């Protein structure tokens, strides 16, 4: 399979009039022209600017021969020094046009403009919009040398970025919880438990990499100019750090490794339930972005993630331990986890929504209004905690499972942070970070609850029994 | 060995930002704000491959000018300079070749070291080429006012 990496949208164009309007806000302008020797000359002038007439005028700089009838430029540039840091408030604008001398006065007719203001296009977005230029430069450098020249990262950093390893918590939490529930019911086998964690991790790593492969093939990652460290994919293909073919090979490798572990687990603990869950897990994982299913492109991404990182992971781990027996407890325990993990994707889709819409990826934030998306977050988060409380009240889950309610304040922080940061991907980054913690900490606290019950079961069985 | 007058060297050392002007394929000037880095004889600037169009222009036409005009970027000084020179793009190793200038860069923008430690987050920004300018001529405005003709110093003459 091959794919052409698409073109990232560049910074929106500036009109000559727009450029002059910006130029007029600078305290002085730098006139640049090419002298008779072919070298540029730059000199600060105080121009009178008339954007409506698309013109400017300034006094002829003493001792300099400003040429008529050729393109010259006027540039405005601004920074705010920040001692001990560097500077900020970067902006600049250049307007090109023809200059004409009238005695000691130079008049300038604007023709076109270009500039950047980090208050309008944040630096990270500006960088993303410029990756096409980086690709072009490396291509030219490779042609110059006759051998490939590519951007690089250290092996560790590249592995981290390519596989998005830190997101493995989404797998480890439900899998270990499934094992813990089985252990509380009296069945635990260390070898198959470890193999389950490894196999499930391979599935997620395969999903992470395959997601980039198919999003690149379908243009979604190229169309996204506001990725953050939590959203927008790894971007290693877009940056030229790893080729499309290498990523496709890596995804295949992870899925093959996962399949091998799955076969070993089936050999050790044969059951129809495990086979069914394993097959369903592969289908959901690969079909998340891959044709023909393309679940995330059809608006089913949130459900797929909830299913995959909730019931399938948790029940899969559980049935490996029980040899195929199913019960309500792991299914019910997986529901809050499923909702909270789906909310990670859901919030992460908010900054991606414009790029996703361009690529035809019909996620909920693409389809819904801002108010509906925020209401959706609140409803799903409330549902996760209500299910937990009801399950404990119904004595399906043990009382210490309520420890997960300690994450409610974090969920409230996310809920409150969505509205003010909805249109600011970089402001939303902190909210996304807290949202990931909601899922992780809720899962760990559920695990801690089960750990407590298991511990009490060993030292004070009557108390453990009272706790559910 | 320096070929530039002392006040010009002082401006180069102090300036947080200068304006690099290159000549494009249509003989038109194109200006880019950049941090000037000065090692006592040559002027260096660095450019990420993300914003490498200027490098393409320089490779096609090495004639450039670097101006320092913003009092805000030079601690309130009023004097201004434009240095014309011949530029060379050094891009043998875009990944690490530019790092030899990191100490000079850090002196002007201390935050760059922290950014570099987070290279994994912004890998292409740190794939960079160096622009080395050999000064040819300096146009110096003592009071920064273009109403007065600049003092012109020929770099070779100054060196002699």
The structural domains of chain A, with segments of one domain joined by +, span: 16-120, 122-151, 155-466
Lowest-confidence region among A111-125, A357-371, A454-468: A454-468
Cα dihedral sign, A187-A192-A195-A200: negative
Mutation site, B16, B19, B29, B35, interface A, largest A CB count within 10 A: B29
Yes or no, beta carbons of B64 and A39 under 8 Å apart: yes
Residues of chain B in contact with residue A161, where contact means CB-CB under 8 angstroms, are 120, 123
Residues of chain A in contact with residue B67, where contact means CB-CB under 8 angstroms, are 30, 42-44
User: A17 and A52 in contact (C-beta within 8 Å)?
Assistant: yes
Of the candidates B126, B147, B150, the residue with the CA atom closest to the CA atom of residue B138: B150
Q: What is the mean pLDDT of residues B57-76?
A: 97
In 3-state terms, what secondary structure has residue A464?
helix
Yes or no, beta carbons of B125 and A127 under 8 Å apart: yes
Provide ipTM, 2 decimals.
0.95
Q: Longest C-alpha distance within chain B, in Å?
A: 49
Residues 6+ apart with CB under 8 A from A205: A163, A165, A168, A254
The angle formed by the CA atoms of residues A170, A233 and A430, to the nearest 5 degrees, is: 70
Shortest Cα–Cα distance, B1 to chain A (Å) = 23
pLDDT the model gives residue A5: 47
- Count Cβ–Cβ pairs < 8 Å, chain A vs chain B: 177
The angle formed by the CA atoms of residues B145, B146 and B147, to the nearest 5 degrees, is: 90
Residues of chain A in contact with residue B29, where contact means CB-CB under 8 angstroms, are 32-34, 40, 42, 71-73
Instruction: Note the pLDDT tens digit of each residue in A83-98.
Output: 888 889 999 999 999 9
User: B16 and A81 in contact (C-beta within 8 Å)?
Assistant: yes
Of the candidates B86, B99, B80, B76, the residue with the CA atom closest to the CA atom of residue B131: B86
Whole-Å CA distances, B44 to A19, B20, B39, B100, B152: 29, 11, 8, 11, 21
Q: How many whole angstroms separate alpha carbon B95 and alpha carbon A366?
A: 37
Q: Which of B111, B112, B150 sits opposite A63 (nearest CB)?
A: B150
User: A122 and A111 in contact (C-beta within 8 Å)?
Assistant: no
Q: Which of B28, B55, B110 sits opposite A137 (nearest CB)?
A: B55
Q: Which of B23, B64, B124 sits opposite A134 (nearest CB)?
A: B124
- Given strand A105-117, what is the order of strands in its sheet? A40-45, A29-34, A71-82, A86-102, A105-117, A55-59, A48-50
Closest residue in B to A30 (Cα–Cα)? B69
pLDDT the model gives residue A3: 41
In a domain, B1, yes or no: no
Total domains present in chain B: 1
Q: How many whole angstroms separate alpha carbon A307 and alpha carbon A324?
A: 19
Q: How many whole angstroms separate alpha carbon B25 and alpha carbon B103?
A: 34
Q: Which of B29, B80, B123 sits opposite A151 (nearest CB)?
A: B123
Establish if A41 touches chain B: CB-CB under 8 angstroms. Answer: yes
pLDDT the model gives residue A83: 87
Query: DSSP for B110-158?
Result: THHHHHHHTGGGSGGGG-EEEEEEEEEEEEEETTS-TTSPPEEEEHHHH
In a domain, B46, yes or no: yes
Strands B151-154, B43-48: pairing is unpaired
Q: What is the mean pLDDT of residues A428-454?
A: 96
Bridge partners, B32 (sequence order): B20
Mutation site, B11, B20, B30, B50, interface A, largest A CB count within 10 A: B50
> In angstroms, how far is CA A294 from the centroid of its own chain?
18
Share of chain A above pLDDT 70, in %: 97
B72-78: long-range pairs with CB below 8 Å, 24+:
B72/A78, B72/A79, B72/A80, B72/A81, B73/A79, B73/A81, B73/A87, B73/B15, B73/B16, B73/B17, B73/B18, B74/B11, B74/B14, B74/B15, B74/B16, B75/B14, B77/B11, B77/B14, B78/B143, B78/B144
For B108, the domain range is 6-159
Question: Residue B2: pLDDT band by 50, 70, 90 thresholds?
Answer: low
Q: What is the mean pLDDT of residues B80-93?
A: 97
Share of chain A above pLDDT 90, in %: 84
Yes or no, beta carbons of B27 and A70 under 8 Å apart: yes
Bridge partners, B131 (sequence order): B45, B89
pLDDT the model gives residue A38: 97
Yes or no, beta carbons of A86 and B55 under 8 Å apart: no
Angle formed by the axes of helices A169-184 and A328-358, nearest 10°: 170
Say which CATH number the domain at B118 has.
2.30.110.10
Lowest-confidence region among A278-292, A437-451, B144-158: B144-158
pLDDT the model gives residue A10: 65
Q: What is the mean pLDDT of residues A428-439?
A: 95
Yes or no, beta carbons of B65 and A81 under 8 Å apart: no
Establish if A194 touches chain B: CB-CB under 8 angstroms. Answer: no
The angle formed by the CA atoms of residues B153, B155 and B159, to the nearest 5 degrees, is: 110
Is the predicted pLDDT of residue A437 greater than 60, yes or no?
yes
Is the predicted pLDDT of residue A111 greater than 90, yes or no?
yes
Question: Residue A11: pLDDT band by 50, 70, 90 thresholds?
Answer: low
Tokens 């949130």 found at? A302
Query: DSSP for A267-290?
Result: HHS--HHHHHHHHHHHHHHHHTTS
Q: How many whole angstroms separate alpha carbon A461 and alpha carbon A466?
A: 9
Q: Which CATH class is domain A16-120?
A: mainly beta
Tokens 């339930």 found at? A273
Angle formed by the axes of helices A328-358 and A408-421, nearest 10°: 10
User: A290 and A309 in contact (C-beta within 8 Å)?
Assistant: no
Instruction: Note the pLDDT tens digit of each residue in B19-48.
Output: 999 999 999 999 999 999 998 888 999 999
The mean pLDDT value of chain B amounts to: 94
Residues of chain A in contact with residue B146, where contact means CB-CB under 8 angstroms, are 43-45, 59, 61-62, 64
Q: Which of A63, A84, A133 sits opposite B51 (nearest CB)?
A: A133
Q: Which of A40, A130, A160 sits opposite B51 (nearest CB)?
A: A130
Q: What is the mean pLDDT of residues B63-90?
A: 97
């Amino acid at each position: 399979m091959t794919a052409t990496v698409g073109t990232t949208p560049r910074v929106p164009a500036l009109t000559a009039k727009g450029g002059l309007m910006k130029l007029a806000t600078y305290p002085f302008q730098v006139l640049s022209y090419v002298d008779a020797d072919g070298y540029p000359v730059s000199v600060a002038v105080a121009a009178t600017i008339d954007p409506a007439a698309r013109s400017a005028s300034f006094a002829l700089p003493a001792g300099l021969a400003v040429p008529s009838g050729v393109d010259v430029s006027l540039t405005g540039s601004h920074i705010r020094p920040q001692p001990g840091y560097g500077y900020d408030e970067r902006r600049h604008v250049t307007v090109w046009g023809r200059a004409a001398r009238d005695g000691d006065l130079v008049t300038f007719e604007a023709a076109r403009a270009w500039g950047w203001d980090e208050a309008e296009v944040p630096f990270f977005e500006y960088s993303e919009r410029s990756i096409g230029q980086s690709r072009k430069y490396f291509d030219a450098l490779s042609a110059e040398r006759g051998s490939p020249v590519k951007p690089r990262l250290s092996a560790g950093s590249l592995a981290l970025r390519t596989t998005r390893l830190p997101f493995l918590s989404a797998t480890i939490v439900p899998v270990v919880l499934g094992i813990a529930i089985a252990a509380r019911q009296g069945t635990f086998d260390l070898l198959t438990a470890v193999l389950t964690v490894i196999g499930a991790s391979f599935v997620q790593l395969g999903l992470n990499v395959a997601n980039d492969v198919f999003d690149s093939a379908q243009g979604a990652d190229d169309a996204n100019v506001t990725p953050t460290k939590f959203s927008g994919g790894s971007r290693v293909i877009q940056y030229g750090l790893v080729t499309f073919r290498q990523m496709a090979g890596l995804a295949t490798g992870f899925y093959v490794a996962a399949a091998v572990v799955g076969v070993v687990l089936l050999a050790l603990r044969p059951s129809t339930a495990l086979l069914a869950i394993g097959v369903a897990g592969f289908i959901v994982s690969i079909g998340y972005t891959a044709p023909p299913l393309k679940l995330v492109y059809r608006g089913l991404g949130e459900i797929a993630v909830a299913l995959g990182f909730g019931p399938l992971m948790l029940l899969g781990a559980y049935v490996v331990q029980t040899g195929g027996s199913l019960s309500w407890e792991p299914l019910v325990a997986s529901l809050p986890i499923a909702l909270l993990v789906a909310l990670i994707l859901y919030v992460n889709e908010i900054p991606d929504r414009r790029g996703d819409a361009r690529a035809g990826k019909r996620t909920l934030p693409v389809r819904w209004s801002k108010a509906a998306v925020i209401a959706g977050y609140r409803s799903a988060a409330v549902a996760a905690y209500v299910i937990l409380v009801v399950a404990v009240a119904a004595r399906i889950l043990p009382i210490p499972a309520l420890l997960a309610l300690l994450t409610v304040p974090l969920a409230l922080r996310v809920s409150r942070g969505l509205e003010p940061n909805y249109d600011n991907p970089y402001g939303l980054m902190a909210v996304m970070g807290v949202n990931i913690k909601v899922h992780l900490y809720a899962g760990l606290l559920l695990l801690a609850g089960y750990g407590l019950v298991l511990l009490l079961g060993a030292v004070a069985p009557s108390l453990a029994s009272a706790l559910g | 060995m320096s070929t530039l007058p002392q006040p010009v060297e002082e401006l180069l050392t102090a300036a947080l930002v200068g304006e690099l002007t290159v000549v494009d394929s249509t003989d038109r000037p194109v200006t880019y704000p950049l941090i000037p880095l000065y090692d006592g004889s040559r002027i260096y600037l660095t450019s990420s491959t993300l914003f490498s169009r200027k490098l393409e222009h320089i490779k096609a036409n090495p004639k450039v000018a670097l101006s320092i005009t913003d009092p805000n970027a030079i601690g309130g000084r009023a004097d201004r300079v434009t240095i014309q020179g011949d530029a060379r793009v050094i891009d043998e190793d875009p990944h690490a070749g530019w790092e030899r200038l990191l100490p000079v860069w850090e002196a002007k923008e201390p935050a760059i070291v922290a950014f570099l430690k987070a290279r994994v987050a912004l890998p292409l920004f740190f794939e960079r080429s160096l622009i080395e300018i050999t000064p040819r001529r300096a146009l110096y405005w003592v009071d920064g006012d273009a109403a007065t003709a600049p003092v012109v110093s020929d770099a070779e003459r100054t060196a002699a």
